[in-house]
Amino acid sequence: MGETTNDSDRGISRRALFIGGAAAAVGTAVLARDELARLWWRTPGVEKPRKEGEVDFGGAHWVAASSANWRRADRPDDFGIDRVIIHVTQGSFKSAVKVFQDPGHGAAAHYIVGKDGRITQMIRELDVAFHAGNREFNERSVGIEHEGFVDRPQDFTDAMYEASARLTARICARYDISIDREHIIGHVEVPGTDHTDPGPHWDWGRYIPLVRAAAKRDAERTADPSTGPSTGPSGGATAASKSTPAAERDA
């Protein structure tokens, strides 16, 4: 063919290439973005970013538990979280921190709440803490220890109830857990446990309304619809069969 045709052909093909290429590039970018948003956290080997010392509850102070006392996970994407489990340490705040740092202890909870209302986080909510003495309940729950002894009602102070209720309210909001006694349970209620904590002096009739009140305050504070909903549940646990190298004892 002639020169004009050649030019014309080249022009068309170049234009077609440009349009096609641009469309392909845009398509790929959109697809990639959507895929990333949807699949990023579920891709094997890709975990949520973590920062040293980061806490899940704003008011908590971070002290890392021994890695022997918990199992790395990527909750709520690998395991859904639908329970908060209440414990009592049977000892001081300091001794609880110490044993959770001890690799030989084989158990630890995510949080410890002190009589003075201070909160220490020792395991990320992303991870499975060995606190319930029941693998399934460990995987589906966040464990909160409270300083004191089950037979000493005076250990359960106003400051402790208030701080713990604020913490539990946030956990329930994060994972869309109902604030009731079916979902906020004592260690004693975990199937198969021989632990009795938090014991008969833990005042559930007081605690649950405190959690509800804290949740209401949080909801009112964050009522601005432009902020959007917080991260909801991931649609239930996928029951990924991960190995459990360490014993999951009770805390």
Query: Where in 83-102 is the site for Zn ion (CB under 5 A)?
Result: 87
Taking the least distance from each CB to Zn ion, the nearer of 173 and 199 is 199
User: CA 180, CA 199: separation in Å to the nearest integer?
Assistant: 18
Least Cβ distance, residue 99 to Zn ion (angstroms): 12
Number of H helices, E strands in the chain: 5, 8
Taking the least distance from each CB to Zn ion, the nearer of 77 and 197 is 197
Taking the least distance from each CB to Zn ion, the nearer of 185 and 215 is 185
Query: Where in 197-226 is the site for Zn ion (CB under 5 A)?
Result: 197
* Local structure of 11: helix, strand or coil: helix
- The count of chain residues that interact with Zn ion, using the rule CB under 5 A, is 4
Question: Are 251 and 93 a contacting pair, CB within 8 Å?
Answer: no
Q: Where are the alpha helices (DSSP H) in the chain?
A: 3-39, 93-101, 135-140, 158-175, 204-221
- Interaction between residue 248 and Zn ion (CB under 5 A): no
- Whether the link from the prior residue into 225 is cis, omega within 30° of 0, is no
- Interaction between residue 147 and Zn ion (CB under 5 A): no
Least Cβ distance, residue 197 to Zn ion (angstroms): 4
Least Cβ distance, residue 158 to Zn ion (angstroms): 22
Binding span for Zn ion by CB under 5 A among 76-84, 121-129, 183-191, 221-229: 183-191
Least Cβ distance, residue 46 to Zn ion (angstroms): 33
Q: Under 8 Å CB-to-CB from 21, ≥6 apart: which residues? A: none
What is the Cβ-side half-sphere exposure of residue 107, based on CA atoms within 13 angstroms? 16
Query: Which active-site residues does the annotation give?
Result: 145
**Interacting residues toward Zn ion by CB under 5 A:** 87, 187, 195, 197
